[in-house]
Structure 1
Amino acid sequence: MVTPRTHPKVRPYVLTGGRTVTRHRLLVHTLVTVPYYDPGLAAAMLPEARTLYEQARDGCSVAELSALSGLSLGVTRVIVSDLAAAQRVRVHAETYGSPFDRRLLERVRDGLRALA
């Protein structure tokens, strides 16, 4: 039997159906939230989607969701994009004019402090 531990590249491909392109623009700092948490819906989701859905309840960036779930950034982006297309999570619009915006850097700094 093939397991993710013996073939780590198989599982991400299976989780995303081979897709790498997302419907939404999801940068590492893009904020994702759950507007209305439904425990019944969560119970019916695949484990990876359920983990992302539950973690996004408190509002997280895509990078935080990836780190907290243990999924690669690419897989996280595809699953979050699917959840957003199904209106299960909300992808917040980018409010930064530049990747070097002071507010962005402060959020990154605060996120790193929280992880430390």
Structure 2
Amino acid sequence: MVIPNQSRSARVRPYAITGGRTRSRHPLLLETLISVPDFDQDVRDKLIPEARDIYVLCQVKQSIAEISTRLAMPLGVVRVLVSDLADHGQVQVHPTGHVAGQPDRGLLERVLRGLQTIS
């Protein structure tokens, strides 16, 4: 498990981290998987602390939801930073297998079965 970066004050607002942006340029759903195809220490050293944490964590494929949870970072911030990393070719965004905005019936059925096993 990755521990959130402690080099930045907890008082830093999410909009300061994302430069005021609230939307990503890529359709990043909660289940969208992210990975770092070719980890590069020099790239890591040049990133802001929050993007660096994402870059390091995604050496192993992670979903947007997992990144947010493991780094204790708001989903919106994760989406914007992952989108920035993807724009620079530093992370790979794996297709989710369905059109954004349309429900994935298979995913919904798996969630339903999982919820039924909990009951």
C-alpha spacing 1:88/1:104, structure 2 compared with 1 (3 Å): farther
* Number of matched pairs: 101
Supply the distance in 2 between the matched residues of 1:90 and 1:104 (Cα, whole angstroms): 27
Shift of 1:104: 8.0
Q: Note if contact 1:96-1:104 (Cα within 8 Å) is conserved in structure 2.
A: no
Give the corresponding residue for 2:30: 28
Give unmatched runs, 5+ long, in structure 1: 110-116
One-letter amino acid of the counterpart of residue 10, structure 2: P
Separation in 2, partners of 1:27, 1:80: 12
- The one-letter amino acid of 1:101's match is G
1:101 aligns with 2:102: no
Tell me the CA shift for residue 100 of structure 1.
Answer: 3.4
1:101 Cα deviation after fit: 1.1
Partner in structure 1 of residue 84 of structure 2:
82
In structure 2, C-alpha distance between the alignment counterparts of 1:105 and 1:61, rounded to whole Å: 17
Q: Which residue of 2 aligns with 1:43?
A: 45
**Tell me, which stretches of 5 or more residues in structure 2 are unaligned?**
1-8, 115-119
TM-score by length of 1: 0.77
Match of 2:117 in 1: none
Counting aligned pairs with the same residue, the percent is: 41
Higher helix share: 1
| TM-score, with structure 2 as normaliser | 0.76
RMSD value over aligned CA atoms?
2.1
